């Protein structure tokens, strides 16, 4: 490991937020030394990754804020990776969760970083696995990953998080059956946020029915009502998350499954590393109007050039 990267890694492990921010930037943009930094990481079983996902407008950021307030009272050290839609112009994060979470921005026990999806289809940044592992090496108790609400393709959060919290709001009641086969299947905990609204009880009952069906004799997935703006139900949610995480200690198969999924994505990203999207587009533009054009032959020929 180069000396400057080794020094940076030591600073990250010591809890230096500036060093951590620099390390994330190096990994996210594959700057010089990023591979050395990743190879120097130690697989941490201490920091747990909690995914907060759900459709747009479900109040995910407000829920994250409420969880932060709760865990700060317990002296937890927490990192938040807030994945925002990309700006179509500069591929930077568009919504800026650091602004929405401004109450915690200077807190010495909380680290917040916004990441852009950069066109990734599953609601996560393409480098999220590596970034999360860098953050886990910085001595946090909890790493919260808040994803973009993009629907069923967001199931990839299940391959990253130790616990996945699916957040819904009363207006989603009629959509529960529609999304049942997708995002509903990844939940370790369901949250009905904005529970003061009129249709909240109906959604809560529907989710309890689905959770019962999903259990098939095992423990049912918890369904918790919250009003995040008032911190109502947040303590119950935090306790349910910790209870679930504690129960994972005797689940080596789950850990192996998650590790296999992470390895798959890393190998996939490595195999795609030499693919230049701009050159692909240029060559496709030249080939697509030819009478003999065949997409599969084109792809094979393009790959043979790599």
- Within-domain flag for 95: yes
If asked whether residues 65 and 158 sit together in one domain, one would say yes
Distance CA 242, CA 165 (A): 12
**Alpha-carbon distances of 137 from 3, 44, 142, 272, rounded to whole Å:** 18, 6, 11, 26
- Within-domain flag for 165: yes
Query: Comparing 263 with 224, which gets the higher pLDDT?
Result: 224
If asked whether residues 131 and 167 sit together in one domain, one would say yes
Residue 134, pLDDT score: 94
If asked whether residues 21 and 165 sit together in one domain, one would say no
Decide: 149 and 56 in contact? Cβ < 8 Å: yes
Task: Give the chain's mean pLDDT.
Answer: 81
Query: 95 pLDDT band (50/70/90 cuts)?
Result: very low
If asked whether residues 253 and 146 sit together in one domain, one would say yes
Query: 73 pLDDT band (50/70/90 cuts)?
Result: very high
- Within-domain flag for 267: no
Distance CA 127, CA 143 (A): 16
pLDDT digits (tens, 9 = 90+) for 167-199: 988 876 555 554 555 666 778 899 999 999 988
If asked whether residues 240 and 193 sit together in one domain, one would say yes
If asked whether residues 85 and 211 sit together in one domain, one would say yes
If asked whether residues 233 and 287 sit together in one domain, one would say no
Distance CA 301, CA 306 (A): 9
If asked whether residues 235 and 286 sit together in one domain, one would say no
The DSSP code sequence of 218-265 is SPPPPEEE-BGGGTBTHHHHHHHHHHHHHHGGG-HHHHHHHHHHHHHH
Q: What letter would DSSP give residue 86?
A: B
Domain count of the chain?
3
Task: Residue 141: give its domain's CATH number.
Answer: 3.40.50.300
If asked whether residues 160 and 249 sit together in one domain, one would say yes
- Within-domain flag for 265: no
If asked whether residues 72 and 189 sit together in one domain, one would say yes
Decide: 49 and 162 in contact? Cβ < 8 Å: yes
Give the residue numbers spanning the domain of 194.
43-258
Mean pLDDT of 122-145: 83
If asked whether residues 116 and 196 sit together in one domain, one would say yes
- Within-domain flag for 268: no
Distance CA 158, CA 170 (A): 23
If asked whether residues 81 and 65 sit together in one domain, one would say yes
Return the percentage of the chain with pLDDT > 70, whole number. 78
Phi/psi of residue 84, each to 5°? -105, 160
């Amino acid at each position: 490991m180069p000396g400057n990267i080794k020094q940076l890694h030591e600073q990250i492990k010591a809890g230096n937020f500036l060093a951590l921010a620099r390390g994330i930037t190096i990994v996210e943009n594959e700057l010089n030394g990023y591979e050395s930094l990743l190879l120097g990481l130690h697989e941490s079983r201490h920091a747990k990754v909690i995914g907060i996902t759900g459709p747009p407008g479900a109040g995910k950021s407000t829920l994250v804020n409420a969880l932060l307030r709760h865990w700060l009272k317990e002296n937890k050290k927490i990192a938040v990776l807030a994945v925002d839609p990309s700006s179509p112009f500069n591929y930077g994060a568009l919504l800026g969760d650091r602004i929405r979470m401004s109450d915690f921005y200077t807190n010495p026990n909380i680290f917040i970083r916004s990441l852009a999806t950069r066109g990734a289809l599953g609601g996560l940044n393409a480098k999220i696995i590596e970034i999360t592992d860098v953050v886990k090496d910085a001595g946090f108790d909890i790493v919260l990953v808040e994803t973009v609400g993009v629907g069923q393709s967001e199931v990839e959060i299940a391959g990253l998080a130790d616990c996945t919290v699916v957040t819904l709001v009363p207006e989603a009641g009629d959509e529960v059956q529609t999304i049942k086969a997708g995002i509903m299947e990844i939940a370790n905990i369901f949250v009905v946020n904005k529970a003061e609204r009129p249709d909240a009880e109906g959604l809560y009952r529907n989710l309890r029915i689905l959770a019962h069906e999903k259990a098939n004799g095992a423990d049912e997935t918890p369904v918790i009502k919250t009003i995040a703006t008032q911190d109502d139900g947040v303590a119950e949610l935090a306790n349910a998350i910790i209870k679930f995480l504690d129960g994972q200690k005797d689940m080596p198969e789950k850990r192996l499954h998650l590790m296999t999924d992470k390895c798959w994505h890393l190998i996939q990203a490595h195999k795609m590393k030499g693919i230049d999207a701009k050159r692909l587009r240029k060559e496709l533009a030249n080939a697509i109007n030819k009478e003999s054009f065949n997409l599969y032959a084109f792809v094979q020929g393009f790959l043979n050039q790599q």
